[in-house]
Chain A
């Protein structure tokens, strides 16, 4: 079945540095990818919708200059957390689908800890 690979699974970085998270669709071409953030005991909050070859659409309240999303190919989207701060520590999850009403496939998530 369809698989979405997310890398790294966990990362620790220092305040002020940038961290890149990759989301790859392994056996299908994903026209759309979504990035979510999950706080402890809270729901997955949609951060942005990424369409291949175009700029990402960010949800209200998400800083696009802080959370840079690139969807350069049909199999890869990246989320870069720039100038990370401890409050950016969270669990980030990507999902991908082939087209409009296709099922969504999720990555295993990335645990980011900013010290």
Chain B
């Protein structure tokens, strides 16, 4: 079945460092891909998405490109801030009538001042 694999955390970075969180997927067909973020004490929020190959999703300085050839959707940010500390989830939606989301395990990012 469809699945998402993302790098284990925690990822600890200093402020202004470059961030990469790897995500790869397995799916039949052409899924949509997402990154969700969960700040401490809050629910999941959509960070960015891409719906087809070579699309780049971006938001709040974060970017991810849908790479069909490598089945990847790595999350990047050029300069992280303390306020970016959160758990990041990669997910795919296989479409269809229910269009349900399948999540990766989540990666905890801790940014130190």
Q: Which residues of chain A have a CB within 8 Å of any CB of chain B?
A: 4, 6, 32, 34, 36, 41-44, 46, 49, 57, 93, 95, 100-101, 103-104, 106-109
Contacts and interface: CB of A to CB of B under 8 A. Distances in A.
A95 B99 CA distance: 13
B101 A34 contact: yes
Interface residues of B, number: 19
Interface of B: 4, 36, 41-46, 89, 97-106
Q: Is chain A's binding surface mostly helix, strand, loop or mixed?
A: strand
B100 A46 contact: yes
Given A43-B89, A43-B105, A32 B98 contact: yes
B5 to A, nearest CB: 10
A19 B100 CA distance: 25
B101 A109 contact: no
A44 B106 CA distance: 9
